[in-house]
Every structure is written in structure tokens, then in C-alpha cells.
Amino acid sequence: MRTKTLLIAAVLGAAGLASASAQVASVNAVGYVNKSLSAGLHTLSNPLSNGDNAIGSVIPSAGIGDTVFKFENGAFASSTFLGVWAPEVTLGVGEGFFYDATADTTITFVGEVLQGDATNKAVPAGISMQG
């Protein structure tokens, strides 16, 4: 009886070890960041990478009439949310922008947390907004 118990314990232990070593860990850390905003103008930056970083992917929903102002090429480009963002602008990871909320709201950034060398971002010459 003792031999049978030891044999069963050994088989279960080997099965547990095999399944534990078969687990795969993802190198990507994906998540979201909620940011509560009061009505008015705010300075923000995109903390996460979402593929092409189009504003519709980075901030999928917002208050109707909320507007983003992004400084690029020596001027401000804007995008307003009217059910969808128009026109589409990109908000790269670490790029700063102004967010004009029409009412108290919570915006949700969704995407991947950059790791390693991807976190080393070159800051452009001249005036820029970075976070």
C-alpha cells in the first residue's frame, strides 16, 4: 500500500511539474489608465502604446465636444470628439497635448506599457510637449 501511494504521489508531482514548466509568460504588459478630469483645459500625455496610436485607439471614448490640441510642426492641430474623433491625429507614447473637457469626465487610455529600449524616446529639437 505504501509503494502504491508513493507511486501515485510521484506521478502527480511529475504531472504538476510538467504543467508548471509549460506555462508561457507574455512579454507585453497591456492595460489601461483612467484619468478623471473636471470641465476645462488640461495638460496630459499618452502613457501607453496602442498600435498606430491614432486618437480613436488611444482614447476610444470621450465627452461630446471634448477637444484635443496637439503641437506639431510649429502649430496646434486639433481633434474634436463628436461620437468619433475628427480629424484623426496621432498621440504617440509620451507626447503631450491639451485636453479641453466640456464637462467633468473620465478618459481611459488603453494600450501596451513600453519596456526596455522602447522607453528611450528622442525629444525633438525646438518646442514640444513631452510627458
Q: Is residue 16 part of a domain?
A: no
The confidence band for 2, taking pLDDT boundaries of 50, 70 and 90, is low
Q: What pLDDT, on the 0 to 100 scale, is given for residue 27?
A: 62
Q: Is residue 74 part of a domain?
A: yes
Q: Is residue 10 part of a domain?
A: no
Q: What pLDDT, on the 0 to 100 scale, is given for residue 110?
A: 83
Q: Is residue 47 part of a domain?
A: yes
Q: Is residue 17 part of a domain?
A: no
**33-48: per-residue pLDDT in tens?**
999 999 999 999 999 9
Closest by CA position to 91, among listed 62, 117, 70: 70
Q: Is residue 79 part of a domain?
A: yes
- The number of folded domains in the chain is 1
Q: Is residue 128 part of a domain?
A: no
Strand order across the 40-45 sheet: 40-45, 96-101, 67-72, 75-81, 85-86
Structural domain harbouring 48: 29-115
**39-86: per-residue pLDDT in tens?**
999 999 999 988 899 999 889 889 999 999 998 888 899 999 999 999
**What does the buried/exposed string (b/e) look like for 83-119 if buried means 16 or more CB atoms within 10 Å of the residue's CB?**
eebeeebbbebbbebbbbbeeebebebebeebeeeee
Amino acid at 14: A
Residues in the chain, total:
131
Q: Is residue 58 part of a domain?
A: yes
Counting beta carbons within 10 angstroms of the beta carbon of residue 62, is it exposed (0 to 12), middle (13 to 18) or buried (19 or more)? buried
CB atoms within 10 A of CB 74: 7
